[in-house]
Structure 1
Amino acid sequence: MTRAATLIAVLGVFIAMTILVLVRSMNGGTQVQGGQGNRLVPVSAYAVSERDFADIVEALGTAGANETVTVTARVSDTISRVAFDSGQRVEAGDILVELTDTEEAADLNEARATLREARRELNRVDDLIERGIAPRQRLDEANAAVERAAARVNSIEAQLADRIIRAPFSGVVGLREVSTGSLVRPGDPIITLDDTSIIKLDFSVPERFLSALEAGMPVAAMTSAYPDEVFEGEIAQIDSRIDPVTRSVTVRAEIDNAAGHLRPGQLMTVEIQRDTRTNPAIPGAAITRYLDDSFVFAIDTREGSEFVRQKAITLGRQNGDVIEVTEGLSAGDLIVGEGVHRVRDGMAVQVTETRGATVAGGPDTSQAVAAATSQP
């Protein structure tokens, strides 16, 4: 009986301690839930602000010059003078290369002498006709001789002009591929000339975005050569046909290149913003989810105390930690930004800090709605 009494006494003490712990736990939970005493849940608040969002169509494109040409010779001959350096900027009409013209120059001198003689003969015949000595037929023959001599001069001058190769437009020459004394033939490349004042950027997008594209839409392009610089331009043309194999359409954008940073052939990433809008934005840490629904805890003040209220929201696009809210919140609302896992609907809280109130409403863009690539 003594051992049984001892066991009963120990069991009674254990039960009493368990009941005491449970009562204290319930009292503590009531204090937190009801907001009594000092056991308020600390949270970090976030002041909702509006931001600019836009859907983005992203693609890869290849840069091209506004005008480009491979300069070649029209006749076969040796080069007598190279009048440019690699990478030099030239103006329209500047001489690039001169070909040997010794034979043509001699022929031109002969033709000009023949023309002068024909004109002198014409003057003599004209004088004789006025004096009534020569027949009218002599005048016709003299005029024909002058015309033939003039045509001969013009022909040789044209041949000489073909031996002077000029820049067809203003631009920058590439690396020269010839030297003085080189023999060139028609079609042989002498130099490339590019007008890079404007860059034409060609890229492809899936045909499903065709209705959302139009000439004049702004584009932003980036290249690995200048990772911290964004090149802005606009859509100039949209191809009239869709590729039947890839089901994509080629779009051409024009980018001002006055600084000369971009060069033909560069691979560039293109972003087209569409459906630009302004909506409330919140950090991802403030959102709780249940199945397909999303919620935040809005902070309300009642009788000098702060309480949280669970609120359903509809989310839009995301950019990093910033998420667009299309329904459920307005600019200026105060929500729990951090510590959402410690609060429940109706719980009293203590706001330790407030963020987001001073966030500038600069433009933010959503995650890309498509990634369309075009091979360079």
Structure 2
Amino acid sequence: MNNNKLLPPVAQVGCALIALLIMGCGSGQSPTGKPAGSPPGSRSSPPGMGGGMPVMVITKRVAPQSFIDRFTALGTARANESIEVTARTTSIVTRINFRDGQQLRSGDVIVELDARQESANLSLAEAQLTQAESQYQRSKALQATNVVSAADLDQLEANLLVARAQVRGAKARLDTLSVKAPFAGTVGLRKISLGDLVGPDTIMTTLDDTSVIKLEFGIPETFIGDVRTGMTILADSTVYPDQRFEGTVSSIDSRVDPVTRAVTVIATVPNGDGLLKPGMFLTVALERQRADVLLIPEEALVPREGRQYVFVVEDGKAMEREVTIGRRAPGLAEIRGGIAAGELVITEGTQRVRSGSAVQMAPNS
């Protein structure tokens, strides 16, 4: 006969709870899974903090470098010389000596106007000059015999001078009826016909010297100190995507536009092949090189609340520094304050560290 008796159900549940408590105490873990004795609410430290493993980072030593700063602007091409061809007097067109788009030399006659009246006036003036010269020479020969007084001779000399002036005036008026090219260039479209009555307000055609193009563009006033006459510019046109044009700054305006805060600059671009036309738009690039500039990779910057920070490695720890940023180039930023040449900045791993974190620099960084 078995003397052992079955325990009531309530007693069985109590025994099970006692066994679980004994096992928990033996494992050294609290019911929350943290090590026994850990204060409530405590967390494990991130890497590199509180004795944790150092964070692996990549660094770069700050050193002065030559920094090429580029500024771009939209420029307008203009002819080296450009005029609207008009007559200096009112007359009838009798001859047209050009074709649309023709190349002209300086002094070529573009248009001839009716010169019959002025030719007649010149002939009359020349005849009067011949007569005045004859009278003067004859009277001068007779002065020695006292036939002609000194006063009469002076009057004849004055008449001679007047006659010569009248001839010069007649020639000048006749010359105005031949419209000439003041410089070599390309003539534009003809806007007149034979027999037209033209005057100073009549545009007969245009004349452009495009052997050199003047490229006009604006630069911000902050850039004025870095632009000087003689410096090189590069220009691109969407019309010729595979070609770059090189020019030279020839002049800089003496005033800043009060609205745009920009200064007008003119650069000359050789155009012997005639590819560039007046009125074309080109993208102009100006480059300036600044020596002894501290540059760091942009990925080293940590922006926060409108400010820029970097992490500098000091005694094996990442130390946060606020820096002052200058100009930027693709992938680079100029540092104007906050760090010095020779210091190590973290370029990769900035998001895994805090100021004071222990760090380990990757090999070859």
Q: Quick check: 1:43–1:351 contact (8 Å CA) kept in 2?
A: yes
- Separation (CA, whole Å) in 2 of partners of 1:294 and 1:130: 102
Superposed CA deviations along residues 146-198 of structure 1, whole A, max 9, x for unmatched, are 55654543333222101112233455544443345443222211233455647
1:96 corresponds, among 97, 107, 110, to 110
Alpha carbons of 1:31 and 1:153: their partners in 2 closer, same or farther (altered >3 Å)?
closer
Alpha carbons of 1:237 and 1:186: their partners in 2 closer, same or farther (altered >3 Å)?
same
More deviation, 130-139/83-92: 130-139
1:253 corresponds, among 243, 249, 265, to 265
Report the CA distance between 1:318 and its aligned residue. Answer: 4.5
TM-score calculated relative to the size of structure 1: 0.62
Q: Is structure 2 residue 250 aligned with structure 1 residue 238?
A: no
Q: Quick check: 1:299–1:308 contact (8 Å CA) kept in 2?
A: yes
- Separation (CA, whole Å) in 1 of partners of 2:308 and 2:74: 34
Q: Quick check: 1:234–1:254 contact (8 Å CA) kept in 2?
A: yes
- Separation (CA, whole Å) in 2 of partners of 1:29 and 1:215: 51
- Separation (CA, whole Å) in 1 of partners of 2:313 and 2:178: 81
More deviation, 95-104/228-237: 228-237
Instruction: Please state whether the residue corresponding to 1:188 is helix, strand or coil.
Output: coil
More deviation, 92-101/159-168: 92-101
User: Which residue of structure 2 lines up, in the alignment, with residue 327 of structure 1?
Assistant: 337
What residue identity is the alignment partner of 1:73?
A
What residue identity is the alignment partner of 1:77?
S
Alpha carbons of 1:167 and 1:256: their partners in 2 closer, same or farther (altered >3 Å)?
same
Which structure 2 segments of 5+ residues have no match?
Answer: 1-10, 36-42
How do residues 234-313 of structure 1 correspond to structure 2 at under 5 angstroms?
236-239=252-255, 246=259, 251-259=263-271, 265=279, 278-289=292-303, 291=305, 294-299=308-313, 307-313=316-322
1:317 corresponds, among 322, 326, 334, to 326
Q: Quick check: 1:233–1:255 contact (8 Å CA) kept in 2?
A: yes
Alpha carbons of 1:146 and 1:328: their partners in 2 closer, same or farther (altered >3 Å)?
closer
More deviation, 79-88/25-34: 25-34
More deviation, 281-290/230-239: 230-239
Q: Is structure 2 residue 364 aligned with structure 1 residue 349?
A: no
- Separation (CA, whole Å) in 1 of partners of 2:74 and 2:48: 59
Which structure 1 segments of 5+ residues have no match?
Answer: 355-376
- Separation (CA, whole Å) in 2 of partners of 1:5 and 1:78: 131
Q: Is structure 2 residue 79 aligned with structure 1 residue 70?
A: no
Superposed CA deviations along residues 175-223 of structure 1, whole A, max 9, x for unmatched, are 44334544322221123345564737475968xx79x769957796867
Report the CA distance between 1:6 and its aligned residue. Answer: 4.7
Alpha carbons of 1:32 and 1:268: their partners in 2 closer, same or farther (altered >3 Å)?
farther
Q: Quick check: 2:88–2:199 contact (8 Å CA) kept in 1?
A: yes
Q: Quick check: 1:44–1:337 contact (8 Å CA) kept in 2?
A: yes
- Separation (CA, whole Å) in 2 of partners of 1:289 and 1:214: 29
What residue identity is the alignment partner of 1:192?
T
User: Which residue of structure 1 lines up, in the alignment, with residue 3 of structure 2?
Assistant: none
- Separation (CA, whole Å) in 2 of partners of 1:177 and 1:7: 113
1:340 corresponds, among 343, 350, 355, to 350
Alpha carbons of 1:17 and 1:78: their partners in 2 closer, same or farther (altered >3 Å)?
farther
- Separation (CA, whole Å) in 2 of partners of 1:105 and 1:17: 127
Q: Quick check: 2:57–2:359 contact (8 Å CA) kept in 1?
A: no
User: Which residue of structure 2 lines up, in the alignment, with residue 365 of structure 1?
Assistant: none
Report the CA distance between 1:285 and its aligned residue. Answer: 1.9
Report the CA distance between 1:13 and its aligned residue. Answer: 6.5
Instruction: Please state whether the residue corresponding to 2:270 is helix, strand or coil.
Output: coil
- Separation (CA, whole Å) in 2 of partners of 1:231 and 1:147: 53
Q: Quick check: 2:63–2:342 contact (8 Å CA) kept in 1?
A: yes
Report the CA distance between 1:287 and its aligned residue. Answer: 2.3
Alpha carbons of 1:142 and 1:98: their partners in 2 closer, same or farther (altered >3 Å)?
same
- Separation (CA, whole Å) in 1 of partners of 2:33 and 2:246: 64
Q: Quick check: 1:219–1:234 contact (8 Å CA) kept in 2?
A: no
Q: Who wins on radius of gyration, i.e. which is larger? A: 2
What residue identity is the alignment partner of 1:254?
I
- Separation (CA, whole Å) in 1 of partners of 2:88 and 2:268: 34
Q: Percent identity between the aligned chains?
A: 27
Identify which of structures 1 and 2 has the higher relative contact order when contacts are C-alpha pairs closer than 8 Å and 6+ apart.
Answer: 1
User: Which residue of structure 2 lines up, in the alignment, with residue 359 of structure 1?
Assistant: none
Count of aligned pairs between the two proteins = 336
Q: Quick check: 2:48–2:55 contact (8 Å CA) kept in 1?
A: no
Report the CA distance between 1:10 and its aligned residue. Answer: 6.3
